[in-house]
Amino acid sequence: MPITRFANEYELQKVVQRCHNILWERHGFDPAQAFDEFSKLLFVKLYDETVAGGARVAIRRSEPAEDFAARVRWLFEQANQTPGFEGIFSDEPIVADDLSVYEVFRQLQNYSLLQTTSVVDGADIKGTIYENIVGNTFRGELGQFFTHRNIVEFMVRMVDIDKDTVVYDPACGSAGFLIMCAKLIRDQIKASQPPLFQEMTSQALKAYSKRCLIGTEINERTARVARLNLLMHGLDYSNIFTVNALKLKESDNERLHSLIKEGTIDVIFANPPFAGYEKDASVLTRFELGHNGLGKVAAVTREVLFVEQIIRLLRPGGMAGIVIPQGIFTNRNLARVREYIQRNAQILAVIELPDWAFIPSGTSVRGSLLFIRRMTPPPADYHIFMKRVEHIGFTSTGRPDPQNDFIVTLAEFKSQDPRYMVAVDKIRGRLDAKFYLRKHQAVVDLFRHNPKHKLVRLSDIGTFHTEKVNPRRFPDADFNLIETSCVDPATLTITPKRIKGSESNYTSLKVLRAGDILISRRRAYRGAIVIVPPELDGSLAIPEFSVLRLQTGIDRNYVVEILRSSEFLQLMTIYSTGEMSGRISEKDLRRLQIPLPEDHAEIGADFVSLREQIHELNRLIEAKQQSIAALASSIIQGTR
């Protein structure tokens, strides 16, 4: 059978899975071990295709497995000593046994890696292996996750680069950003050269990568993935360094220091690790955001330090595209981070992704894309492109989706479409695109200006009650526990859980009284807002709820219906923050205003009457449904 390229990525995935199964079934390798061994065998195949056209890794007729495997091991040693291939697998032998080596190459022998990487549009061979074989085990251990190629390409296209642009990725993973940069430069070179000079394109691209593409990665295994990925794409991998990007100055690698200096990098692309807190005082002390604002060192999440590091490394006028967890844009305790960004950079764009954008990559953290230009100080008067995209070319399960808002969004950003431009002086406290969308600001304005009725803050018409109890202090007592799932927004009823104090998972629950308005702040769009009935007086609610106890003279039936209105639910959702599931803070909820007409008690009575009518209609509907079911049943049973 002639040697051919992989027809598409799906075909590649099938072959990769078969190879993985061979290594797993023969040795019981875990995903990371199987990944390592398969990487070595791919490395040998690529080396021989490059040096000898692939002839030496072709299985000969009737060749014993041990003879073929011996040749592969010898080629592995040769590759590790050959310029352009050395340093990736130094001093690491092939662990897989002879039969495994033979069977893996039997799967690969009809395909050419070189032909594949030269023609499959944007194919990230190693990234595919990284995503499909290593999966959640590899990512989970290191707090890493694969950035989907659609997101990577969009980010790179948002920032103009050319053959002289120095690009750095401080947490490069499998080098997806660097490879996408090379792909765009390749397209630029090809567009400027006739087809007869395609070999020159390859040479120019390798020279570009050696001169301009830099990556650091804290984990050696992942750094090796990046090097091999670059090699697979015909690029130079000598600028991939195994080092913590937050500890660059501690490295004794002189070449690293010559390439990465503060205030010198043209462009930075990054998806920083969202993995816990940095607590090392020796690291924190080097960063402004590693202090608490009062001069004392304080632990912060690592992505916070990455943001500062990125800004510091950029040259004046240099640009960055960063994947950032949504909390940095909205959480109150991260306001200092937003202030730092605004003081040291011009914010070019904030693109909010669907909540599920990174679920296929192994994390449910909600992420947004931040694009900045380093300027100290930034202009006093400019506009920020802010947009939420709904379709990103793939679904929540990772399957391709023909709908892709990135294409039109890129054009809108380049043209500075006025529909998405927000004046920087309109930015107040938060940076999430969702909050500043025009349609959302229109909703906010409804509760800031009412042409007919007085607007009042919720905190001015009642008390947000905070009486709490720890059920565990009363282990034998019975309690009615109300969690968010206990409130049915459709029927406006509460079905509490009956628990013993000793069974409680909570140590601080809110005490409810009849007539209180119970407001679920989590996933506010559900409308889980109800009046506590007399029979649930003394029940306990989890902290996700706010408890509004109205002043005398304020009609609760009116207030609860306004709070349940689609406009107010949308308002609460707009104000919601958080990286996992959005919720509005009680502090923000207290400040929200609602209209309060002088005759609001009469309107409240009208609301009650309408609810009673709905209840009666529902009762009639249920009765008619039962009649239909009885009639059908009698016919089936032959009694009619």
* pLDDT tens sequence across 120-165: 443 445 445 544 554 444 444 444 556 888 999 999 999 989 999 9
Question: In the prediction, which pLDDT does 197 show?
Answer: 57
- Nearest by Cα to 179 from 243, 109, 127, 112: 127
Question: In the prediction, which pLDDT does 135 show?
Answer: 46
- Nearest by Cα to 214 from 148, 157, 252, 266: 266
Question: In the prediction, which pLDDT does 477 show?
Answer: 94
Tokens linked to 458? 């919720």
- DSSP per residue, 84-146: TTTTSSTT----S-HHHHHHHHHHHTTB-HHHHHHHSTT--HHHHHIIIIIHHHHHHHHT--P
Q: SS3 sequence, 507-537?
A: CCEEECCCCCEEEECECHHHCCEEECCHHHC
Q: Is the pLDDT of residue 217 over 90?
A: yes
Question: In the prediction, which pLDDT does 122 show?
Answer: 39
Over residues 600-625, the mean pLDDT reads 96
Question: In the prediction, which pLDDT does 363 show?
Answer: 74
* Segment 350-402, tens digit of pLDDT: 999 998 888 777 677 888 999 999 998 999 999 999 999 999 998 888 788 89
Question: In the prediction, which pLDDT does 124 show?
Answer: 47
pTM here?
0.85
Distances, alpha carbon 276 to alpha carbons 143, 300, 304, in Å: 8, 8, 11
The enclosing H or E element of 545 equals strand 545-550
Strand partners of residue 241: 216
- Nearest by Cα to 304 from 336, 280, 282, 352: 336
Chain-centroid distance, C-alpha 432 = 14
- Nearest by Cα to 150 from 370, 389, 435, 420: 389
Residue 63 CA to residue 463 CA, distance in Å, equals 84
Residue 541 CA to residue 413 CA, distance in Å, equals 46
Tokens linked to 293? 């604002």
Contacts (Cβ under 8 Å, ≥6 apart) of 202: 234
Question: In the prediction, which pLDDT does 579 show?
Answer: 62
Residue 349 CA to residue 369 CA, distance in Å, equals 8
- DSSP per residue, 239-257: TEEES-GGGGGG---HHHH
The larger pLDDT score, comparing residue 628 to residue 201, is at: 628
Q: What is the dihedral of CA 467, 468, 473, 475, to 10 degrees?
A: 100
Tokens linked to 157? 């296209």
pLDDT band for position 581 (50/70/90)? low
Question: In the prediction, which pLDDT does 134 show?
Answer: 47
Question: In the prediction, which pLDDT does 66 show?
Answer: 95
Distances, alpha carbon 33 to alpha carbons 99, 134, 334, 636, in Å: 17, 9, 39, 61
Residue 281 CA to residue 284 CA, distance in Å, equals 5
Residue 364 CA to residue 359 CA, distance in Å, equals 5
- Nearest by Cα to 560 from 458, 486, 442, 445: 458
Lowest mean pLDDT, pick from 20-24, 129-133, 560-564, 618-622: 129-133
**232 in Cβ contact with 113 (< 8 Å):** yes
Look at residue 10 and give its three-state secondary structure.
Answer: helix
Over residues 68-97, the mean pLDDT reads 92
Q: Is the pLDDT of residue 474 over 70?
A: yes
Q: What is the dihedral of CA 97, 103, 104, 105, to 10 degrees?
A: 110
**270 in Cβ contact with 171 (< 8 Å):** yes
